[in-house]
Amino acid sequence: MSNKNNPSNSDSVLAKSVQAIAVTLLMFGAITMIVPFIWSVITSLKSAENIFSHSAFWIQFPPDFSAYKQIWERIPLLLYAGNTLKVALIVTVGQLATSSLAGYAFARLKFPGRDRLFFVYIATMMIPGMVLLIPNFVVMRNLGAINTHWALILSAVGSAFGTFLMRQFFLSFPSELEDAAKLDGCNPFMFYWHILLPNSKPILTTLGLMAFQNIWNDFQWPLIVLNDESKRTLQLGLSYLMSEYYTDWTLLMAGAIITLLPIILLFFAVQKYFVQSFKFTGLKG
């Protein structure tokens, strides 16, 4: 009896060990991600003279909230937020439209070279973003989009990752559903619009949040293509609080916390869709 039970006991111990290691790694990753955020909050509540005079994680009592008032006086935060929100919303809607249409084509339509074309399209995800900066700049210059928000929108409205995500999700729908729709008189676009999209809320929400967050936090591309102060985005505007000789870290951290709050609130509002979306986007097809 004991010999027969030994293999199962060993498997149980191994499974628990693997689970413990996984939990430990996840906790380590979570701590690594949250520590900079905690430091930013603490720093934003310190007075300028106390930033480097105490431990980095020393909480000043009473906390100093003056930086949260001064940030509105130093830079036009509402203007930058409006610019960023406009670009982020347009790009998000654009990515949802292009990714869902392309994902549907690659998942449900049959045409010559479909799989090869999909492979080439997905392979573009392997190209480092830095390599594309100069080609994208040249394209935007030829289009006359430099120093306009169109340079930010046109360069991000398509997404290979979004197409991949939507394709994998659409593959999870049984072919019998499509056959039944055809018998009811649905053409391919009607099947996409009336059946697939209404049942794709989790993946659309997840992709939309990812697209919105990427644009909201983007700094490098706006720095290259935008010159006028009236067109700056939030991250680019905050960078002007830093200078060659002096940086007001309290003010900078207060601005960073203010710009981060919308993303945090948005994430908590839609976090339940993340598990649902990735549950159905396994590596099918």
In angstroms, the CA 274 to CA 254 distance is 29
Please spell the DSSP secondary structure of 164-202, one letter per residue: HHHHHHHHTS-HHHHHHHHHTT--HHHHIIIIIGGG-HH
Q: With CA atoms as reference, report the closest residue to 241 among 254, 228, 260, 231.
A: 254
In angstroms, the CA 151 to CA 60 distance is 43
SS (H, E, C) 216-251: HCCCHHHHHHCCCHHHCCHHHHHHCCECCCCECHHH
DSSP state of 52: T
In angstroms, the CA 229 to CA 172 distance is 47
Least confident piece of the model among 3-7, 113-117, 210-214: 3-7
Residue 86, judged by CB atoms within 10 A of its CB (0-12, 13-18, 19+), counts as middle
**Position 285 pLDDT exceeds 50:** no
**Position 56 pLDDT exceeds 70:** no
Mean pLDDT value of segment 191-215? 92
For residue 140, the one-letter residue type is: M
pLDDT digits (tens, 9 = 90+) for 161-200: 999 999 999 998 888 988 898 888 889 999 999 999 999 9
Mean pLDDT value of segment 144-149? 95
What is the model's pLDDT at position 159? Answer: 93
What is the model's pLDDT at position 119? Answer: 94
Query: What does the chain come to in residues?
Result: 285
Q: How many CB atoms lie within 10 A of CB 168?
A: 21
What is the model's pLDDT at position 231? Answer: 94
Using alpha carbons, list the distances in angstroms from residue 35 to 30, 248, 257, 277, 278.
9, 20, 14, 28, 27
- Give the contacts of 247 (CB within 8 A, at least 6 positions apart): 241
Please spell the DSSP secondary structure of 118-150, one letter per residue: HHHHHHGGGS-HHHHHHHHHHHHHHTT-TTSTH
The CB-side HSE value for 81 (13 A sphere, CA atoms) comes to: 14
pLDDT digits (tens, 9 = 90+) for 222-266: 999 999 999 999 999 998 888 767 788 888 999 999 999 999 898
Using alpha carbons, list the distances in angstroms from residue 98 to 23, 92, 162, 221, 246.
37, 10, 9, 21, 44
What is the model's pLDDT at position 50? Answer: 75
In angstroms, the CA 154 to CA 166 distance is 20
What is the model's pLDDT at position 213? Answer: 93
What is the model's pLDDT at position 269? Answer: 86
DSSP state of 156: T
Mean pLDDT value of segment 137-150? 95
**Position 106 pLDDT exceeds 80:** yes
What's the CA angle centered on 184, arms 179 and 187, to 5 degrees? 70
Tokens 């976090």 sit at which residue?
271
Asked whether the beta carbons of 67 and 44 are under 8 A apart, the reply is yes
What is the model's pLDDT at position 11? Answer: 66
DSSP state of 158: -
* CATH class as words, domain 66-279: mainly alpha
**Position 90 pLDDT exceeds 60:** yes
Mean pLDDT of the chain: 87
Q: Which helix (H) or strand (E) holds 99?
A: helix 77-108
**Beta-ladder partners of 242:** 247
- Where does the pLDDT of residue 97 fall: very low under 50, low under 70, confident under 90, or very high at 90 and above? very high
Mean pLDDT value of segment 278-282? 56
